[in-house]
Structure 1
């Protein structure tokens, strides 16, 4: 079935089932790294809420032979059991004092998100961008978050600088960092039988993430985290961007050559990391003496160029 035909057919079938209980419309949403997702947006009469159920995975199921009637049932079940934001949360979003303590930051790739970054407040950082989000709910079932857009700043009457200061204060407090060996991390995730130890590089690797394991690559920005870990090892660090959720740290003196590490990052991104979760295709370098995070040079003759370093106060 042609993709566009699938979208319109599912929209019609879901709308017929709901009748006038909600208006069902097609919506295209821009996600991280330029990923575009198509979904059904549900709006009840008199409500400001429009929860969205994404359809891309359902199209794959239809291509594999699943009847559209069953897909319709699944979508309705998702909609009815996941109503999205409540009216109370929508009201809270308008009250800056109610949300200021829940503003956090995360890291995404700058070049892969040019369109998205044109609509949201952000701070450039090396070839990445620091962006901001609100943690609306945080419980055993997970987090509900929403990206901070430029119109939020206008609504709250604050500047990008004020937003950044709040996120810098909140993020380490709400989502404290955690560093562990990669072996310990795999054991905790009960993946020791799934991941072959021979597939791991023969160097010391440590996982840096936050207490939730969500958007944990931003822990690189926490004050003194990289500095203190580098000092504990007595080494500068090479950082492998595993995903937006975590990064891998390894001491520079015992690491593989930079070009091999870059190839490793690129291969893992392509085979194991969803497109929406990829952070970068190359390594970074942290100098414990200068307290700076650096981009690797285009040439592999040296690990980094001091002149191109970005100050990262540690």
Structure 2
């Protein structure tokens, strides 16, 4: 059975099975654009509700191709949909168009601009080097999951809100809803494996001055890379890092901060990011393969390669300035020598007073 035939039959059988269980539904098939990915989904809504459940058709088709029986796949889909109906959050649909209510749920996320190029055409955003800051309304978030809506151009237009106002409100609300957390790697490892185990392995505690890597995210560890867009985050990170630092995009959920203390080269950090992204980060969670740098004195956030270029240009300017200063010093010294030397008229007078002749 090819994909198109599977999709048509799958939609019909899922709808019929739900009807047999006493649930009448409306089903549509559409493309769902999510951050870092898009997929064809079956959107299932109870007839008396505007809130439904999306399930990716390709995943169920893949299960059939891997040997799972078609009947079991249909049963699995029906269970996923039924569980989604039962556990869906209670949402006041009318409030979704009321910006005065929704802005208090507004957070920021950072994604790859290149990977999400098509989606960003329909989404308000601000560029941040090769990343993009996007905005999301978090309706519900707990141990059971998260219900949220990505802000779109059409949505905020219906709300009567400009992208500039959206950004300003997000800057104010996001740090309150999802505050930034910056922890030393030793502390993070102690939380993961337990303090006793970390102490036995000599990983914890670590003196602040010896900490070489910090982890930045948010309390629920969901889209924690969004802290990069927070107004005071860079200065907070600079304080922990003791000055300038590199930023390694571990994933869309967290970033790593490495002090720029001369112990790590940019090329080594770039290779590290690329290797981890290729072997340990799911495509849906990938941010970018690049490394970034923050100059705490000049307050400049930029790609690592731009920082290196800027440093190189600064070095050339320093050399040129030193050469100019050296030339000026030479000219000044010669001028002083000339000023100290006897004037021609004075030499002639002295010679004549001794009965001689100036040559």
- Normalising by the smaller structure, the TM-score range is 0.7 to 0.9
Q: How far did 1:144 drift?
A: 1.2
Q: Which of residues 159, 181, 185 is equivalent to 1:182?
A: 185
Match of 1:80 in 2: 82
- 1:132 counterpart SS class: strand
After superposition, give the CA deviation of every residue in 1:227-254 in whole Å (9 maximum; x if it has no partner): 2332343331011000111100011124
Match of 1:97 in 2: 100
Largest Rg, 1 or 2: 2
Q: How far did 1:107 drift?
A: 0.5
In structure 2, the CA distance between the partners of 1:36 and 1:101, relative to structure 1 (3 Å rule), is same
- 2:243 counterpart SS class: coil
Gaps of 5+ in 1: 307-314
Match of 1:36 in 2: 38
The 5 A counterparts of 1:19-168 are 19=19, 21-33=24-36, 35-83=37-85, 88-168=91-171
Give distance in 2, aligned partners of 1:47 and 1:304: 61
In structure 2, the CA distance between the partners of 1:300 and 1:286, relative to structure 1 (3 Å rule), is closer
Match of 1:309 in 2: none
Q: How many pairs does the alignment contain?
A: 298
Give distance in 1, aligned partners of 2:311 and 2:268: 12
Match of 1:217 in 2: 225
Give the TM-score, by structure 1 length. 0.85
Gaps of 5+ in 2: 202-209, 315-359
Give distance in 2, aligned partners of 1:303 and 1:180: 29
Match of 2:9 in 1: 9
Contact 1:205 1:249 in 2 (8 A): yes
Match of 1:240 in 2: 248
In structure 2, the CA distance between the partners of 1:95 and 1:37, relative to structure 1 (3 Å rule), is same
Contact 1:259 1:300 in 2 (8 A): no
Match of 1:310 in 2: none
Q: 4+ residue runs of structure 1 moved beyond 6 angstroms?
A: 298-306
Give the TM-score, by structure 2 length. 0.75
After superposition, give the CA deviation of every residue in 1:251-296 in whole Å (9 maximum; x if it has no partner): 1124432122112111111211111211111100011111221112
Contact 1:214 1:245 in 2 (8 A): yes
- 2:304 counterpart SS class: coil
> RMSD value over aligned CA atoms?
2.7
Which has the higher relative contact order, 1 or 2, with Cα contacts under 8 A spaced 6 or more apart?
A: 1
Contact 2:127 2:133 in 1 (8 A): yes
- 1:43 counterpart SS class: strand
